[in-house]
Amino acid sequence: MPISKADAHEEGRTTQVPCDPFPPIYPPTAVEGCPACSELAARRAAARAKGDESALVDANVLMRRHLRLDHRP
Ligand SMILES: [Zn+2]
């Protein structure tokens, strides 16, 4: 399943890690139709709703790792 780059904002992107489509400074985007992505997106949304920044960062880290492992182009 292709990752839509149109969904990712390009602002704040650096060129330090050209092989990483989701630089750490930008929150990763959930891939539509992927159960793991939607679970992590829900987790992130819940963390954001609670104002739990460390859980938010955790969810982003997990999602980024998942995207890299399972949605690698
Ligand atoms: Zn996924």
The answer to the question of residue 43 being in a domain is yes
The pLDDT value recorded for residue 73 is 73
- Residue 42 placed within a domain: yes
70 is in which domain, residue-wise? Answer: 23-73
- Compute, in angstroms, the gap from residue 39 CA to the centroid of ligand 1: 9
Closest CA to 54 of 64, 43, 39: 43
Whether 29 is in a domain gets the answer yes
Does residue 3 sit within a domain? no
Structurally, how many domains does the chain consist of?
A: 1
Please give the distance, rounded to the nearest whole angstrom, from the Cα atom of residue 55 to the centre of ligand 1.
Answer: 19
The answer to whether residue 72 sits within a structural domain is yes
Two tokens at 53? 């920044």
Does any domain span residue 10? no
Q: What is the pLDDT of residue 20?
A: 54
Residue 70 domain-assigned (yes or no): yes
**Is residue 40 in some structural domain?**
yes
pLDDT at 17: 47
Helix or strand run (H / E) with residue 10: none
- pLDDT tens, per residue, the chain with 73 residues: 665 555 555 555 554 545 555 445 567 899 999 999 999 999 999 999 999 999 999 999 999 999 999 998 7
